[in-house]
Chain A
Amino acid sequence: MDHSTRITRRALCGGMAAAGLLAGLVPGLPVSRAAAQSYPQRNFRVIIPTGQGGGAERLARAFDDAWSKLLNQQFEYTFHPGAAGQIGYELFVKQREADGYNLLFGNMGPEMIMYAVQKPDYRFPEDFVYFSRTDIDDSCIFVRNDSPYKDLKSVVEAAKKNPVNVAVSRIPHPASIGMLALGEATGSTYNLIPYGGGNPTYVAVMNGEADVGALPITGVLSLSSQFRVLGVFNRENIFAGITDNAPTVNGAFGTSIPDLYSSRAWAVHSSWADANPEDFALLERTSREAHASDAFRDAFVKTGSPVESLKYGDRQVCTEYALAMLDLAKRYEPVLSAQR
């Protein structure tokens, strides 16, 4: 979308009148290139398994700015939060037609952990397949700017004496696994407090209800006036320049915790992808082009998120990541679920 576009009163009224007239007079009017191709011929319906106004929606809308131009179709979103994403996925698999027009924009990390822990009534990758990763969002440990904790070591030292309260989005989440793994490796104890989403987790750390927070890093960086990042669960901190050279957890403690990051990706029904290889290839190709476009990057930067996190991944990359996350979740399943 051209952001310089401005609607005036006259243009708005005139445009609406003209659109109404056009719709009334010429139903089903074909649009430029859309007429020349068999797919896609109508708008896409996207399920986002989290609430509106969150990082997923902002990223999806920034992405469709570029993608809709390449596909000549618009994207319509519905939000189905709850049960750690399970509701959105179950709806997508069971109630949305496998026609290539129904997509899902999910967060592969936490949602594959949910899949492993809650054992829902659908199958990956038999029922759906991720085919276009948009970003890599490293899990990080952060504190508010005036926190007494100056670095990772001071947090771990404190957690060796008494359990430290850590605000997390959900218990079944890569960042939560990171804290549990850190505790296991260093003999420190963390009391995970789930807040059900990024926004309330930020507030909990801001108001001191929790000493520390563990979340994906891009959202934390968009609130850099409030927070300091102490460490990152990855082999490299790609945001070193804007996190005051925060170390990696493995680098600070010599641990071997696997890379823990969230990755948002577009998904489609596997049955449709397998039955319509050409159309699916079009989706893959255009999503790759959209990812590389300046339109997407510009829109993404406007959300306050760092462009370094944008990393494209195709179907194979997505599937490998999702299966690796499944294995990790199974390892920590007793502590991620209500099993004791």
Chain B
Amino acid sequence: MGWDSALLLSLAVDAVMLTWIVVPAVLLGILVGAIPGFSAQNTLIILLPLTLAMDINMALAFMVSLYCATHLGGGIPAILVNMPGTGGAAATTLDGYQMTLKGKAQQALVLCFVASTIGGLVTSIATVALLPFLAQVGMYLRSVEMVAVMVFGLVLIAAIAADDPLKGIIAGFFGLMIGAIGTDHIYGTPRAAFGFLELYDGVPLVPALIGLFAISEAFSMMERSTIVPRSAVVDSRAHWADTLEGLRLSLKYWWLTIWTSFVGLLIGVVPGAGASIASFVAYQQARMFSKTPDEFGKGFAPGVVAPEAANNGVTSGTLVPLMAIGVPGGSTAAVMMVVLQYHGIVLGPRLFIESPEIAYGIFFSMTLSYIVMLFTILPLARYMSQVVLIPTRILVPLILSLTIVGAFANREYVFDMGLALVFGVIGYIARKTNYHVTAILIGIILGPLFEQYLLRSLRIGQGDLTILFSSTIGNVLWAFVVLSVLLPWLRSRQQERHRRAERENPAALTGDQPR
């Protein structure tokens, strides 16, 4: 489609005219995202009768705004109480919660909000400009390439468990074993479901996420009076200076925000991939390219920026295959597809010719929603951060009741509530024995996907393992996987050598040569 300035102007005006519906959608989306177990997809299904009755532009603005806001909302509890609201925010807990424990909750929230909104804004604008190109990305990332992408994510297990690799590997394998529960991907034969119908489709992510993070954290909280240690209580008090410091840090890491949001965009374009994978891969890549990889996991700002920018980059990406080829990129996009088709909108390449105002209007609405999000939520960081000062005797029952409801809400199975509690106990034991719950979760999330892509690739190659190395893009990705393992190791060795040299001959390094 040739760019028509009149069309662009009218789309921009239309988007602004829909602000009245974008604002409540954003607020609802943040709320839904912040409560573990509630998702954009389920909320949109509940509200489907309303969106079907709306004017199509209004319905799309509402759905897109709510969807984008849930990704931002998921980061709030991840930072404040170590419980990700969505799977895409699981990686945010690694550094976000550590910042909270240091009394920097407000800064972490600002980093999360700015990275989310800027990441979402940049990718929504980029999507409009690069749509024809992006539509091709899904054509090049096939099963073979996705195996390498999954390995990227799995490599993160090694990275986050660097202090104790053996425990990391055990936790990762435990997660992979849990991920293998459910029907196999080829014949649909149940495996290790022990007769539980609710496990036939695999271990559901939401109860696992809620249990491993939220419930186990609630159990841990019972052992102390506030979330933050006494030493950090004073630092946790609200100051506008912290908001400004968060903004300064966001500006400092602007480039990281941009490129990790593009990682999210590219992964989002692949149907079925999603925000969880994108945020873990972005975190892993940010760590790989960092000059101080050892700082990750200890309350390091880039550890919040990377996953948050990436999971908001996914929001644009997941709509690309829907718009360009008529195939939804994810479950939320699938619900949007129902609404679009109900209104008689023909999806696929013809959409850009027959209804350009719909095709591009979606991304204009997305852009507007991110602008609205930034201005509505940024000032609230100061007040949200005070959650960490609430006594745990109040917070723990609140978290437990909300999360148990959240575990039920996703699939409406009472079984899932019990499953969340089981994972809560597993998570609590893991924390007490210094096993990384994130490593378990990565195994649960990526295990089934890895298996699915691997089995599919092997079936395509008719059993020939070399198919995994048969594509140029795939081989480039494999090279990156090797690099991502070697680079931090080489870097830490170099730093160790440097430190040793410093200890042995400090004068040589300061330039103070003896005469």
Q: Is the CB of A203 within 8 A of B188?
A: no
Q: Does B205 contact A (CB under 8 A)?
A: no
Q: Does B511 contact A (CB under 8 A)?
A: no
Q: Tell me the nearest residue of chain B to A162, going by C-beta.
A: B462
Known contacts: A83-B200, A223-B348. The answer to whether A1 contacts B53 by CB under 8 A is: yes
Q: Does B482 contact A (CB under 8 A)?
A: no
Bound Cα distance from A300 to B459, whole angstroms: 36
Q: Does B186 contact A (CB under 8 A)?
A: yes
Q: Is the CB of B188 within 8 A of A200?
A: no
The bracket for how many chain B residues form the interface is: 35 or more
Bound Cα distance from A195 to B272, whole angstroms: 11
Q: Which of B49, B343, B452 contacts A302 (CB 8 A)?
A: B343
Q: Is the CB of A51 within 8 A of B187?
A: no
- Cβ–Cβ < 8 Å partners of A302 in chain B: 341-344
Nearest Cβ on chain B to A226's Cβ, whole angstroms: 7
Known contacts: A86-B200, A207-B142, A209-B142. The answer to whether A118 contacts B334 by CB under 8 A is: no
Q: Is the CB of A9 within 8 A of B20?
A: yes
Q: Does B375 contact A (CB under 8 A)?
A: no
8 Å CB interface, B321-359 against A: 321, 325-328, 331, 333-335, 337-338, 341-344, 346-350
Q: Which of B54, B201, B343, B344 contacts A7 (CB 8 A)?
A: B54
Q: Which of B54, B185, B188, B412 contacts A118 (CB 8 A)?
A: B188
Q: Which of A53, A54, A118 contacts B189 (CB 8 A)?
A: A118
- Cβ–Cβ < 8 Å partners of A7 in chain B: 53-55, 58
- Cβ–Cβ < 8 Å partners of A193 in chain B: 456, 459-460
Q: Tell me the nearest residue of chain A to B44, going by C-beta.
A: A52
Q: Tell me the nearest residue of chain A to B49, going by C-beta.
A: A74
Q: Does B52 contact A (CB under 8 A)?
A: yes
Nearest Cβ on chain A to B319's Cβ, whole angstroms: 13
Known contacts: A7-B54, A74-B49, A223-B326. The answer to whether A203 contacts B271 by CB under 8 A is: yes
Q: Does B190 contact A (CB under 8 A)?
A: yes
Q: Tell me the nearest residue of chain A to B350, going by C-beta.
A: A225
Q: Is the CB of B188 within 8 A of A84?
A: yes
- Cβ–Cβ < 8 Å partners of A61 in chain B: 52, 338, 342
- Cβ–Cβ < 8 Å partners of B142 in chain A: 204, 207-209
- Cβ–Cβ < 8 Å partners of A6 in chain B: 54-55
Q: Does B244 contact A (CB under 8 A)?
A: no
Q: Tell me the nearest residue of chain B to A5, going by C-beta.
A: B53
Nearest Cβ on chain A to B436's Cβ, whole angstroms: 29
- Cβ–Cβ < 8 Å partners of A196 in chain B: 185, 452
Q: Does A293 contact B (CB under 8 A)?
A: no
Q: Does B197 contact A (CB under 8 A)?
A: yes
8 Å CB interface, B26-48 against A: 41, 45
Q: Is the CB of B190 within 8 A of A83?
A: yes
Bound Cα distance from A223 to B186, whole angstroms: 26
Known contacts: A52-B45, A52-B331, A203-B321. The answer to whether A210 contacts B460 by CB under 8 A is: yes
- Cβ–Cβ < 8 Å partners of A86 in chain B: 188, 200
- Produce 1/0 per residue, B270-303, CB < 8 A to A: 0110000000000000000000000000000000
Q: Is the CB of B341 within 8 A of A51?
A: no
8 Å CB interface, B458-504 against A: 459-460, 462
Q: Is the CB of B185 within 8 A of A200?
A: no
Q: Does A73 contact B (CB under 8 A)?
A: no
The bracket for how many chain A residues form the interface is: 35 or more
Nearest Cβ on chain A to B383's Cβ, whole angstroms: 28
Q: Is the CB of A87 within 8 A of B45?
A: no
Q: Does B139 contact A (CB under 8 A)?
A: yes
- Produce 1/0 per residue, A259-301, CB < 8 A to B: 0000000000000000000000000000000000000000100
Q: Tell me the nearest residue of chain B to A226, going by C-beta.
A: B325
- Cβ–Cβ < 8 Å partners of B334 in chain A: 51-54, 199
Most buried by B among A9, A196, A336: A196
Q: Which of A58, A83, A165, A208 contacts B183 (CB 8 A)?
A: A83
- Cβ–Cβ < 8 Å partners of B460 in chain A: 165, 191, 193, 209-210
Most buried by B among A82, A94, A118, A196: A82
- Cβ–Cβ < 8 Å partners of B347 in chain A: 304
- Cβ–Cβ < 8 Å partners of A203 in chain B: 138, 271, 321, 325, 327
Q: Does B240 contact A (CB under 8 A)?
A: no
Q: Which of A5, A114, A202, A222 contacts B188 (CB 8 A)?
A: A114
Known contacts: A78-B412, A83-B183, A83-B188. The answer to whether A207 contacts B140 by CB under 8 A is: yes
Q: Which of B185, B328, B333, B412 contacts A194 (CB 8 A)?
A: B185
Known contacts: A78-B412, A206-B325. The answer to whether A87 contacts B341 by CB under 8 A is: no
Q: Tell me the nearest residue of chain A to B54, going by C-beta.
A: A7
8 Å CB interface, A197-248 against B: 199-200, 202-204, 206-210, 222-223, 225-226
Q: Does A171 contact B (CB under 8 A)?
A: yes
8 Å CB interface, B3-41 against A: 20-21, 41
Bound Cα distance from A7 to B55, whole angstroms: 6
Nearest Cβ on chain B to A257's Cβ, whole angstroms: 22
Bound Cα distance from A94 to B347, whole angstroms: 38
- Cβ–Cβ < 8 Å partners of A210 in chain B: 460
8 Å CB interface, B231-282 against A: 271-272
Q: Does B143 contact A (CB under 8 A)?
A: yes
Known contacts: A53-B331, A53-B335. The answer to whether A171 contacts B188 by CB under 8 A is: yes
Nearest Cβ on chain B to A112's Cβ, whole angstroms: 14
Q: Is the CB of A199 within 8 A of B201?
A: no
Most buried by B among A6, A7, A170: A7
Known contacts: A58-B341, A302-B341. The answer to whether A170 contacts B462 by CB under 8 A is: no
Q: Is the CB of A171 within 8 A of B186?
A: yes
Q: Is the CB of B327 within 8 A of A3?
A: no
Q: Does A178 contact B (CB under 8 A)?
A: no
Most buried by A among B53, B54, B185: B53
Q: Does A338 contact B (CB under 8 A)?
A: yes
Q: Does A163 contact B (CB under 8 A)?
A: yes
Q: Tell me the nearest residue of chain B to A224, going by C-beta.
A: B348
Known contacts: A1-B53, A86-B200, A171-B186. The answer to whether A53 contacts B328 by CB under 8 A is: yes
Nearest Cβ on chain B to A275's Cβ, whole angstroms: 26
Q: Which of A9, A91, A338 contacts B187 (CB 8 A)?
A: A338
Q: Which of A9, A53, A222 contacts B333 (CB 8 A)?
A: A53
8 Å CB interface, A48-96 against B: 51-54, 57-58, 61-62, 74, 77-84, 86-87, 90-91, 94
Nearest Cβ on chain A to B6's Cβ, whole angstroms: 24
Q: Tell me the nearest residue of chain B to A78, going by C-beta.
A: B412
Q: Tell me the nearest residue of chain A to B333, going by C-beta.
A: A53
Q: Is the CB of A199 within 8 A of B327?
A: yes
Nearest Cβ on chain A to B266's Cβ, whole angstroms: 15
Bound Cα distance from A299 to B52, whole angstroms: 12
Q: Tell me the nearest residue of chain A to B195, going by C-beta.
A: A121
Known contacts: A52-B45, A114-B188, A194-B186. The answer to whether A202 contacts B327 by CB under 8 A is: yes
Bound Cα distance from A223 to B337, whole angstroms: 14
- Cβ–Cβ < 8 Å partners of B184 in chain A: 338
- Produce 1/0 per residue, A162-196, CB < 8 A to B: 01010000111000000000000000000101111
Q: Does A303 contact B (CB under 8 A)?
A: yes
Q: Does A337 contact B (CB under 8 A)?
A: yes
Q: Is the CB of B459 within 8 A of A170?
A: no
- 11 contacting pairs across A/B (C-beta < 8 A): A7-B55, A51-B334, A57-B338, A61-B338, A118-B188, A208-B142, A210-B460, A223-B326, A299-B342, A304-B347, A338-B189
Given contacts A83-B201, A91-B197, A222-B326, 5 further A-B contacts (CB under 8 A): A3-B344, A207-B142, A208-B139, A225-B348, A338-B186
- The 4 A-B pairs at the shortest CB distance, nearest first, are namely A53-B334, A82-B201, A302-B344, A207-B139
